[in-house]
Each structure stands twice: as structure tokens, then as C-alpha cells.
Amino acid sequence: MGCWKQEKSNTWTFPTLILCLYGFFYMMKPSEPFLTPYLTGPDKNLTTDEVLNYVQVLWDFQAPSHSSAVYNGAVEALATFLGSVTSMAVGYVKVNWDLSGELVLGIFSAMDAGSLFLMYFTGNIWACYAGYLAFKACYMLLITVATFQIAVNLSMERYALMFGFNTFVALVIQTILTVIVVDSRGLGLDISTQFLIYGSYFAVIAGIFLIRSTYTIISIKCSNTSAAGESTGH
């Protein structure tokens, strides 16, 4: 029995099933529709336009649901599916992540920035849908690669600490960005301009990754050239 359990846990199907169940129960929020009426209203600090995702507010701005045919739910579902596919596809790509990992992060961060800029500059809802699909697919791949890059350089005992700390820092940055960009106590920008800020944010991240990857690639190639010259000299 012990050998059977060990063999089962070593296959890819068992951990994949566990991760899928975790994702399902994490995303399922059966109480949310019932809590919404108690959290919104004239005597509360939240409105219905706000419990919504920012991109849905942008979609409603470009194509109001009361006067246009919208496919927000279908686009959200398709975006989640594409994100899952791209995340799974990473495992089948043969790349020297030590050499090219940061370059990949820079490229997909730049693609995310381009997608957000597209959603800002376009007035066409279908182009906005396409930009969101591209953003979600690239973002999920970006997160997968970044998580992998962190995990390979850590022992398993440190996973909880590092990923918990990363989540905390991400929430702090998101809160600061929301207070500055969205909140009325900050800039209080309109929904369209917000996406210009978000695109610029990803563009800065892309620049950092690309500069770092260029430095890494040059350093590795220079060290390989020096090692080859020393071996030839001997």
C-alpha cells in the first residue's frame, strides 16, 4: 500500500488533480451574490459599479450594456481558458530558463503593456476584448514563469514564506496603486485613463526585466568566452 501511494503521488495526474480542485474551490464564491445587497447602497461606501472588475467597467464605458450587445461573460470565460492553456504550455517548452528566463519575463511584460495600451487607445469593444484576451494569456504565462524561476532557486521548506511574502507585497502595491489612481482621495482618474497608468506600470516592469536579461546574457557569454580562451591556452 505504501509503495502504491508513493507511485501515485509521483505521477503528474495526482498533483494536477489536487491543483485543479484547489483552483475550483478558491474561485467558487457561492455567498457573494447574497452578500452584495448588504455591502452596497447609499448608506455604504461601495456602489455596484465598484464589487465589479475594472476591465468590466471599461467594457461598460465603451459599450453600455443597456444599449449594446455585450459578451463580457463569454470573454471572461475564454480568457480564463486561454490563461490555463498558456500556463500548461510552459511545461512543454524547452528553454534554458537560467539564460533566457528574464528575457521571457520582459517580452511578455511588454506584451501585457501593449494589450493595456490597446484597451486605452481603442474605442472598439471587440478590439478591447482582444486586448483583454491577450493580456490574460500573457499575464498567466508571466506568473507561471516567474513562480517557476523563484521555485527552482529555493528549497521546498521556504516556499510558503517566499510566496506568502510575494502575495503580501503584491497586495500592498495594488492597494497603493488603487488609492493613488482610482480613489477619490488620490487622482480619481476615469476608467480609461486608469488603463494608461496600468500599461505604463507594465512597461516599466518590462524595461527592468529586459535590461536585467541583457546584462545576464552578456555576462554568461563573456564568462563562457573567457573559459574557452583559458582552455585553449592550456
The pLDDT assigned to 23 comes to: 57
pLDDT of residue 18 exceeding 50? yes
Contact 118, 127 (CB under 8 A): yes
Contact 93, 147 (CB under 8 A): no
The pLDDT assigned to 38 comes to: 55
Lowest mean pLDDT among 159-163, 193-197, 217-221: 159-163
Between these two residues, 224 and 48, which has the higher pLDDT value?
A: 224
Assigned C-alpha cell, 136: 490574460
Could you tell me the CA-to-CA distances from 56 to 61, 73, 132 in Å, in that order? 8, 10, 10
pLDDT of residue 25 exceeding 80? no
At 62-78, the pLDDT tens digits run 887 777 777 887 888 88
- Cα gap 148→93, rounded to integer Å: 13
At 143-188, the pLDDT tens digits run 877 777 777 777 777 777 777 787 788 888 888 888 888 777 778 8
Lowest mean pLDDT among 48-62, 82-96, 179-193: 48-62
Question: Domains in the chain and their CATH numbers?
Answer: 56-233 (1.20.1250)
The pLDDT assigned to 30 comes to: 52
Q: What is the reported pTM?
A: 0.72
Question: What size, in residues, is the chain?
Answer: 234
- Cα gap 60→76, rounded to integer Å: 14
- Cα gap 31→35, rounded to integer Å: 6
Handedness of CA 5, 11, 17, 18 (dihedral sign): positive
User: Which of 3-17, 31-45, 186-200 has maximum average pLDDT?
Assistant: 186-200
What share of the chain in percent tops pLDDT 70? Answer: 71
The pLDDT assigned to 206 comes to: 92
Nearest Cα residue to 47 out of 184, 173, 193, 194: 184
